[in-house]
Amino acid sequence: MLKDSPSIHITVLDMDETYTISAYPGQYRSLMMMLYDQIYLEDFGECLGMGRCATCAISIEASQTPLTQFNRNERVTLSKEGIEDPDIHLSCQIVVDESLDGAVIRIYHPEF
């Protein structure tokens, strides 16, 4: 691998699609911003990372280390939407750092 290649690689599952996205540590303010920038996701991240809308919800399918999180409003916002699954998180509250490398996440769609 080249020395200056992005060091964070994430597999993203969305419906029947699978994406691999990459970033440098600190390149994005949050996982939500990385997803917003690299994959077109309709109606995603509507509060722009304030932790209030839950439209950026994702589930963690696999990760090698605990993810780094801000945790602003996360559980309150998710429970207002009836989401109690501890594997579902607000992607705007997840830091894009080395702990995300190798993670597999799924875009959460409440209707499925």
Binding residues for ligand FES (CB under 6 A): 32, 45-47, 49-56, 77, 90, 92
Rounded to a whole number of angstroms, the minimum distance from the CB of residue 83 to ligand FES is 11
- Residue closer to ligand FES by CB (options 16, 111) is 111
Output DSSP code: residue 15.
T
Rounded to a whole number of angstroms, the minimum distance from the CB of residue 1 to ligand FES is 31
Q: How far apart are CA 23 and CA 28, in angstroms?
A: 8
Please choose, from the candidates 74, 65, 105, 66, the residue with its C-alpha nearest in 3D space to the C-alpha of residue 92: 74
- Residue closer to ligand FES by CB (options 53, 103) is 53
Residue 59: Cβ within 10 Å count: 16
Residue 19 pairs in a beta bridge with 12
- Residue closer to ligand FES by CB (options 81, 97) is 81
